[in-house]
Amino acid sequence: MANSDTNMLTSSIKQFKYNKQLADKSIAQIEPEALFHRLHEDDNSIIMIIQHLSGNMKSRWTNIFTEDGEKEWRNRDSEFEELIKTKEEAMEVWESGWFTLFETLDSLTPSDLDRIIYIRNEGIKVSDAIIRQLCHYSYHVGQIVYKCKQLSKGEWKTLSIARNTSASYNFKKFDQIKEEKDYLDSLLEES
């Protein structure tokens, strides 16, 4: 069991890093003012999504074994107001949220995965909390990627298999020796 727990923890961390990388590469392709773009009043700008993700990460992953994951100091509603005024400030907020997440995940051991933590007074296993947040963050990273692609002024550099290259991509993959490996290892950039 411990080996599968180790694999789950390692794989989850890689998945979070991959999601961050997708958002980082997307944000790098747009002009700073595009971070504030909203189609209408109910739309969230990329700035708002960054504020929300960072607020969630800090709240959920700070002192997970001693405090509820919905911290008293968090003001979730304000995350959907444009409090940030510059791209530099946005990137500081963004990085601080991810730092909190990775610092906590890196401190966990496989035996921690079955421990119960609380989010809004609801007990949940750490392993389930990781999956829950991985899904939540992937949802919002997808929004960032989509918005950035729309705002890139037709100069988008794909983050996946480029159009009309699937056959050659598959040919290269099937030309390799069949082996078991983590697909993220070839997608994650060295940090």
Per-residue pLDDT of the chain (191 residues; tens, 9 = 90+): 457 778 999 999 999 999 999 999 999 999 999 999 999 999 999 999 999 999 999 999 999 999 999 999 999 999 999 899 999 999 999 999 999 999 999 999 999 999 999 999 999 999 999 999 999 999 999 999 999 999 998 889 998 888 888 988 888 888 888 887 777 777 776 54
Domain-embedded: residue 31: yes
CATH, residue 115: 1.20.120.450
* Structural domain of 58: 2-159
- Total tally of structural domains belonging to the chain: 1
pTM tops 0.95, yes or no: no
Of 56, 34, 29, 42, nearest to 139 by C-alpha is: 56
What CA–CA distance (Å, rounded) separates 35 from 135?
A: 23
Domain-embedded: residue 118: yes
Domain-embedded: residue 43: yes
pLDDT of residue 20: 98
C-beta separation of 62 from 71 below 8 A: yes
Q: Give the side-chain half-sphere CA count within 13 A for 160.
A: 9
Domain-embedded: residue 73: yes
Domain-embedded: residue 86: yes
